[in-house]
Amino acid sequence: MIMVMVICEECLYTDKKVEFVKNSDYCKECICDHSMCPNCKSAYHTVTITE
Ligand SMILES: [Zn+2]
Ligand SMILES: [Zn+2]
């Protein structure tokens, strides 16, 4: 499993992408569920996948 680290642009919280995915919730901007910051609960829109 590849560890992808992401950073929240709102609060600069950094954690594994899986932690952001775990906090997925409905986003009314995107009309779908996606990752949210576990720390500030803001929608995460700039996920960078490093393969
Ligand atoms: Zn969204
Ligand atoms: Zn945040």
Check: pTM over 0.85? Answer yes or no.
no
Cα–ligand 1 centroid distance for 29 (angstroms): 5
Cα separation, 44 vs 24, whole angstroms = 9
CA of 44 to the centre of ligand 2 (A): 8
Cross-strand bridge partners of residue 27: 32
Helices (H) and strands (E) in the chain, counts: 1, 4
Place of tokens 């992401």: 6
* Residue-wise pLDDT tens digits, 1-51: 678 888 898 999 999 989 999 999 998 988 989 899 999 999 887 655 555
Q: How far is the CA of 14 from the centre of ligand 1 (A)?
A: 19
Helices (H), 1-51: 17-22
Ligand 1 center from residue 42 Cα (angstroms): 9
Q: How far is the CA of 10 from the centre of ligand 2 (A)?
A: 5
